[in-house]
Amino acid sequence: MKLGAFSISLAVKDIHASQAFYKKLGFEAFGGNITENWLMMKHDAFVIGLFQGMFDKNILTFNPGWDQDAQELDSFTDVREIQKSLKNQGVSLISEVDETSQGPGSIMLADPDGNMILIDQHR
């Protein structure tokens, strides 16, 4: 199972203060829209998303179909295949994608400690 690009999505209180802080650590904005209160930042292969007012907790995020530079991959495991595999292994899902759909879709689950995991396919 290929989960795609990995990032951590941070629930921030002040996106401008967070951007300034992570910039000091060497992160540079490479996607998103700060006027819409979300921004993607990258340092080497590390990607963080800053999200103000969109969710309550930090989320581990995987993007099937993308590499770490948000470039489309020729081959990837579709989110519906990932969902089917997880369900077959007895993993409980918080939200599911319509298995009859195609293209973009997402699923949400939590690990045993309650950490949220989003598998979010954009293509």
**How many Å apart are CA 120 and CA 7, to the nearest integer?**
11
Q: Which domain holds residue 105?
A: 5-121
Query: What pLDDT does 70 receive?
Result: 85
pTM of the model: 0.86
Q: How many domains does the chain divide into?
A: 1
Task: State phi, psi for 33 to the nearest 5 degrees.
Answer: -150, 105
Query: What pLDDT does 8 receive?
Result: 97
**How many Å apart are CA 113 and CA 97, to the nearest integer?**
23
Q: Are 84 and 91 in contact (CB under 8 A)?
A: no
Query: What pLDDT does 69 receive?
Result: 85
Residue located via tokens 């103000």: 52
The CATH number that applies at residue 51 is 3.10.180.10
Per-residue pLDDT of the chain (123 residues; tens, 9 = 90+): 899 999 999 999 999 999 999 999 999 999 999 999 999 999 999 999 999 999 999 999 999 999 988 899 999 999 999 999 999 999 999 999 999 999 999 999 999 989 999 999 998
**How many Å apart are CA 123 and CA 41, to the nearest integer?**
21
